[in-house]
Chain A
Amino acid sequence: MTDRSRLTSALVLAFATASATSALAAPGDPPPGAAVPPPVKPAAPRADAPAPSPPPSAAPTEATPPAAAPAPATAAPAAPAAKHDDDDDDDDAKDAETSPTAPNEGAPAVVLKPKELSSPPAAPEQPNPNSIDDGQIGSHQTHFIVSIGWRQAFVKNAGLDPFSKDDSVPQFSLSAGRTLLASDKLSLVALALWDTGSMESTARGAKTSLVVNRLTLGAEGRYHIFRRFYAFGRVAPGALNWNATLADNAAGGERTANAWSFATDLSAGAAFEFAGDNRGHSTRPRAWVGFDGGYGFAGSSKVALEPADDASAPVRTQPLTFADLAVRGPFIRFSLNGTY
Chain B
Amino acid sequence: MTKPYALLCLLLLGCGGRPEAWDQAFVTSDPVALDNSVAVIDTSQNRALVLTSKGGLELDLSMLPVGQNVTAVQASADGKRLFVLSRGVSPRRNPDDERPRLTLIETDPTPRVVRTYEFNDPLSGLVLDEKNEWAVLYVTTHDSRPVSNPNEIVLIDLAHPERDYIPMTVQNGGGGGSPQSFLITSELTMPAAPPRRLLVVETQNSVTLIDLSESIDDDTRRATQVTIPMPANQQGVTGTPGEVVFHDADATRGLGAELAVRLTQDTNVLLLPLVTPADGSTRAFRVEPNLVDVGGIPSSIHFVNTDDGVRLAALVSSNAVLVDSATSNTTVVALSKTFTGITLVTDALGAGSDGTDIALLWSTSAPTIGLWTLGRAIGSALHGLETLDIGSSVQAVLDVPSPDFPTSKILVSGSGDFFVLDLAVPRSSPMSTNGSRFDLTFAPDGQSHRLWAYAPEGYAFSSVDLETLNPTSLTTQRPIWRVFDIAQSAGGTGRTAIALHTAGGNLAATVFDALAPDDGNTRFYSGLAFGGLPHD
- How far is B299's CA from A292's CA once the two chains are assembled, in angstroms? 84
Question: Does A186 touch B at the CB level, under 8 Å?
Answer: no
**Contact with B16, one of A166, A170, A248 (Cβ below 8 angstroms):** A166
Within 8 A of B (CB), among A154-173: 154, 156, 158, 160-162, 164-168, 170
Q: Determine whether the beta carbon of B524 is less than 8 Å from that of A323.
A: no
Q: Is B522 an interface residue (CB 8 A)?
A: yes
Interchain CA distance A247-B530 in the complex, whole Å: 13
Complex contact B7–A164 (CB within 8 A)? no
B18 and A161: CB pair below 8 A?
yes
Chain A residues contacting B16 (CB-CB under 8 Å) are: 154, 156, 166-168
CB of B506 closer than 8 Å to a CB of A: yes
In the bound complex, do residue B477 and residue A204 qualify as a contact, i.e. CB atoms below 8 Å apart? no
Residue of B15, B16, B527 with most chain A CB atoms under a 10 A cut-off: B527
Q: Which of A13-21, A24-32, A53-61, A314-322 contacts B (4 or more CB under 8 A)?
A: A314-322
A42 at the interface (CB under 8 A from B): no
**CA separation between A255 and B506, bound complex, in Å?**
14
A202 to B476, alpha carbons, bound, how many Å?
A: 27
Is B12 a contact partner of A250 (Cβ separation < 8 A)? no
Tell me if A251 and B18 are in contact (CB < 8 A): no
Contacts of B501 in A (CB 8 A): 250
Asked if A332 contacts B536 (CB within 8 A), the reply is no
Interface size on B, residues (CB 8 A): 41
> Which chain B residues (2-24) contact chain A, with CB distance < 8 Å?
7-8, 10-12, 14-19, 21-24
Partner among B11, B14, B19, B507 whose Cβ is within 8 Å of the Cβ of A161: B19
Encoded as 1 (CB less than 8 Å from any A CB) or 0, chain B from 497 to 536 comes to: 0000111111110100000000000111111011001011
* B490 proximal to A (CB < 8 A): no
B509 CB, min distance to chain A CBs, angstroms = 9
Asked whether A206 lies within 8 Å of B506 as measured between CB atoms, the reply is yes
A165: chain B residues at CB < 8 Å are 17-18, 22-23
- CB atoms of A316 and B522 under 8 A apart: yes
In the bound complex, CA of A251 to CA of B15 (Å): 33
Q: A166-B16, A168-B16 are in contact. Are A250 and B23 (CB under 8 A)?
A: no
Residues of A within 8 A of B59 (CB): 318
- The CA of A247 and the CA of B506, in the complex, are separated in Å by 11
* A side interface size, CB within 8 A: 41
Kindly provide the distance from the CB of B9 to the nearest chain A CB, expressed in whole angstroms: 10
Report yes or no: A248 in contact with B477, Cβ–Cβ below 8 A. no
**How far does the Cβ of B381 sit from chain A's closest Cβ, in whole Å?**
62
Chain B residues with CB under 8 A of A252: 478, 503
- A contact residues around B372 at 8 Å (CB): none
Distance between Cα atoms of A315 and B21 in the complex (Å): 30
B454 interface contact, C-beta 8 A: no
Asked whether A204 and B24 contact (CB < 8 A) given A251-B508, A332-B11, the answer is yes
Are A156 and B530 also in contact (CB < 8 A) when A202-B23, A251-B508, A314-B477 are?
no
Please measure, in the bound complex, the distance between the C-alpha atom of A125 and the C-alpha atom of B309, giving whole angstroms.
136
Q: Does A33 contact B (CB under 8 A)?
A: no
Residues of chain A lying within 8 A (CB to CB) of residue B339: none
Q: Name the interface residues of B197-212: CB closer than 8 Å to any CB of A.
A: none
- Does residue A152 face the partner (Cβ distance < 8 Å to B)? yes
Specify which of A154, A166, A204, A332 lies most central, judged by the most chain B CB atoms within 10 Å of its CB: A204
Can you sample 5 A-B contacts with CB below 8 Å?
Answer: A152-B11, A152-B14, A161-B18, A204-B529, A320-B527
Residues of A within 8 A of B (CB): 152-154, 156, 158, 160-162, 164-168, 170, 202-206, 246-252, 255, 293, 305, 313-318, 320, 322-323, 330-332
Other 16 A-B pairs with CB < 8 A, given A250-B478, A322-B530, A330-B11? A154-B10, A161-B18, A161-B533, A166-B16, A166-B18, A168-B11, A168-B16, A204-B25, A246-B527, A248-B527, A251-B508, A251-B527, A305-B527, A318-B59, A318-B524, A331-B11
